[in-house]
Amino acid sequence: MKYTEDHEWLEDTDGVVTVGITGHAATQLGDVVFVELPDVGRTVTKGEEIVVIESVKAASDILAPLDGEIVEVNEALSDNPGLVNEDAEAAWFFRMTTTTPEEMGDMMDEDAYAEFVAD
Amino acid sequence: MDDPIPLPLDGLHTELGGRMVPFAGYSMPVQYPAGVMAEHLHTRAKAGLFDVSHMGQVVIRGENAAAALEALVPVNVVGLAEGRQRYGFLTFPDGGLADDLMVANRGDHLFLVVNGAMKHLDLEILRKGLPDHSVEMLEDRALLALQGPSAEAALAGPVPGVAGMRFMDVATFDWEGAALWISRSGYTGEDGFEISVPVDRVDAFARALLSRDGVMPIGLGARDSLRLEAGMPLYGQDLTPEITPVEAGLGWAIQKVRRTGGDRAGGFTGSERILAELADGPKRIRVGLRPEGRAPMRTGVALYPGADATTPCGTVTSGGFGPSVGAPVAMGYVPIGTAVGSVLYGDVRGKRLPVTVADLPFHQPRYRR
């Protein structure tokens, strides 16, 4: 699993990248009450806001971690946004294919991310 | 900005795992490890302990203080019996709201509780308006709120006398030598108490309450969602200098005796506009709003009369998720005459989402009257 500085986790399974937010991010957000997912088939650019997460406290975004296309979204989150707080690493938001898979190589691994959030 | 000031209970908040944020100039817990949702639901089910020591506690002394205060606060202060409290507000000359407050008749003095963020301005207004009276902001007292259906049982352990209090009663009680100034009131829509405690005893007293059955510490996050469900406006969002008490739906707090035709009609700051609006109606009113779907509509969302309308007709002033309602709830201002049940459209991130005008509160209060 790879991690971004925006507190997303990415898991590459045969060229399809599953994306979620880290437990650390979920804790910071607080109870998630609403998730707005992107449309399947949408072409996205790295850094683009593609998911809206509303917690009891505030709205925040998930940014596209890579260039590519959304191929699947986790509809279960629309009905039960609290899944994010229950188990952030299981509550994936979307799956995407990417035109820039090499960028994942530069992302943090688990140890580096743990160090990143400790700072 | 100056560094946030720690409250007297700072050590306890940290010990309890409170996540501290700057609020009204103070460092305050927005939530504890349980989280906003659990804290909110716990308060409605059992009892929540809130540290609201940021609020201003003001004592007014002097002859005929009640009559003098009526020049600044458009409610019946003179008729407030000893041992009773009522809701009121300070107003500006144009009728806009300067702050909302509680005023209690504590026998030889009046006791006001005002918003933390406004207390310094309030003190100026009070001192200027009451030059012949002593107006003192207490720095040696902290303020706690214990709210929820189990609040009475929890507080009656250390302070047995509170069981006899009714909603909006105020009284002084002794707790191990400390004088507690207690009112049966709050800001959650639940039965409960606000307790003014000497600063040097508040840590011990808070721990005594937390040791009682069903009492959990509650942060600012749940305080906000509880008051929102209870339909209570928040100064700085739902109440501002641009909004009059009548627009805010607070006309109920202005008793007949202060209205046109009453024995002590008017004579308060901003009375011209406020009395006219009481008689003729304001241009806009504060209403409840129920967004359809799950997306919350927060402060600042513009409201439109139609999905394609280009001119907004109102604004959301407070909004979020209502844990007890189980859905997003909001309040805001709409033109007078907008009926309950009307559908408006809120602009949320560029999308027009339907929202239904609703009665307030969303959660019926359970006071001990």
Residue B216 shares a structural domain with residue B321: no
Q: How far is B314 from chain A, CA to nearest CA, in Å? A: 21
- DSSP label at residue B3: P
Nearest CA in chain A to B323: A56
Q: Looking at beta carbons, which residues of chain A come within 8 Å of B297?
A: none
**What percentage of chain B reaches a pLDDT higher than 90?**
98
CB nearest B225 (choices: A56, A78, A81):
A56
Q: How far is B323 from chain A, CA to nearest CA, in Å? A: 9
Q: A2-100: what CATH class? A: mainly beta
- The pair of structure tokens assigned to B293 is 């779907």
Q: How far is A102 from chain B, CA to nearest CA, in Å? A: 33
Residue B323 shares a structural domain with residue B193: no
Residue among A49, A54, A75 with most chain B CBs within 10 A, to mutate: A54
- Please count the CA atoms within 13 angstroms of the CA of B84 that sit on its side-chain side: 11
- Please count the CA atoms within 13 angstroms of the CA of A4 that sit on its side-chain side: 18
Predicted confidence at residue B37, as pLDDT, reads: 95
CA atoms of B82 and B306, how far apart (whole Å): 51
Does residue B134 fall inside a structural domain?
no
CB nearest B221 (choices: A33, A57, A81):
A57
Residue B295 shares a structural domain with residue B219: no
Q: What is the pLDDT averaged over residues B210-239? A: 98
How does pLDDT run across B141-189, given as a tens digit for each residue? Answer: 999 999 999 999 999 999 999 999 999 999 999 999 999 999 999 999 9
Does residue B243 fall inside a structural domain?
no
CA atoms of A37 and A23, how far apart (whole Å): 19
Q: How far is B295 from chain A, CA to nearest CA, in Å? A: 6
The more confident residue out of B93 and B3 is B93
Q: Looking at beta carbons, which residues of chain A come within 8 Å of B221?
A: 30, 56-57
Strand partners, A23: none
Residue B195 shares a structural domain with residue B324: no
| Residue ranges making up the domain that contains B288 | 283-369
**If interface means Cβ-Cβ distance under 8 Å, which residues of chain B face chain A?**
30-31, 35-38, 40, 221, 225, 294-296, 298, 320-321, 323, 328, 349
Residue B154 shares a structural domain with residue B34: yes
- Inter-chain contact A34–B296, Cβ cutoff 8 Å? yes
- Inter-chain contact A56–B295, Cβ cutoff 8 Å? no
- Inter-chain contact B296–A36, Cβ cutoff 8 Å? no
- The pair of structure tokens assigned to B229 is 């469900």
- Inter-chain contact A33–B294, Cβ cutoff 8 Å? yes
Predicted confidence at residue B1, as pLDDT, reads: 55
- Inter-chain contact A30–B35, Cβ cutoff 8 Å? yes
- Inter-chain contact A30–B31, Cβ cutoff 8 Å? yes
pTM for the model: 0.93
Residue whose token pair is 């743990």: A114
Q: How far is B242 from chain A, CA to nearest CA, in Å? A: 25
Q: What is the pLDDT averaged over residues B23-32? A: 95
Does residue B157 fall inside a structural domain?
yes
Domain boundary (B229, B258, B273) is at B229
Predicted confidence at residue A119, as pLDDT, reads: 79
How does pLDDT run along chain A (119 residues), one tens digit per residue? 999 999 999 999 999 999 999 999 999 999 999 999 999 999 999 999 999 999 988 889 999 999 999 999 999 999 999 999 999 999 999 999 999 999 999 999 999 999 999 97
Predicted confidence at residue B279, as pLDDT, reads: 96
Domain boundary (B192, B207, B229) is at B229
Predicted confidence at residue B252, as pLDDT, reads: 97
Residue among B21, B23, B30, B36 with most chain A CBs within 10 A, to mutate: B36
Coil, strand or helix at B295: coil
Q: Looking at beta carbons, which residues of chain B come within 8 Å of A34?
A: 294-296, 321, 328
- Inter-chain contact A56–B349, Cβ cutoff 8 Å? no
Comparing CA positions, the residue from A69, A53, A86, A52 lying closest to residue A16 is: A69
Residue B178 shares a structural domain with residue B37: yes
Q: How far is B221 from chain A, CA to nearest CA, in Å? A: 7
**Which residue type occupies B252?**
W
Domain ranges of chain A: 2-100
Predicted confidence at residue B61, as pLDDT, reads: 98
Q: How far is A15 from chain B, CA to nearest CA, in Å? A: 32
User: Is 60 exceeded by the pLDDT of residue B345?
Assistant: yes
Nearest CA in chain A to B30: A57
Run of H or E residues at A95: strand A94-98
Predicted confidence at residue A21, as pLDDT, reads: 97
Predicted confidence at residue A58, as pLDDT, reads: 84
CB nearest A30 (choices: B221, B294, B295):
B221
Assign B3 a pLDDT band (cuts: 50, 70, 90).
confident
Q: How far is B35 from chain A, CA to nearest CA, in Å? A: 6
Q: Looking at beta carbons, which residues of chain A come within 8 Å of B349?
A: 52
- Inter-chain contact B296–A59, Cβ cutoff 8 Å? yes
Q: Is the ipTM of this complex over 0.90?
A: no
Domain boundary (B185, B211, B229) is at B229
Per the prediction, chain B carries an average pLDDT of 97
Residue B151 shares a structural domain with residue B12: yes
Strand partners, B185: none
Does residue B169 fall inside a structural domain?
yes
Q: Looking at beta carbons, which residues of chain A come within 8 Å of B320?
A: 56
Residue B201 shares a structural domain with residue B297: no
Beta strands in chain B (DSSP E): 5-6, 19-23, 26-31, 47-51, 56-61, 85-91, 97-105, 110-114, 134-137, 141-147, 170-175, 178-183, 192-198, 215-217, 284-291, 302-304, 314-322, 327-335, 343-348, 351-358
- The number of distinct structural domains making up chain B is 2
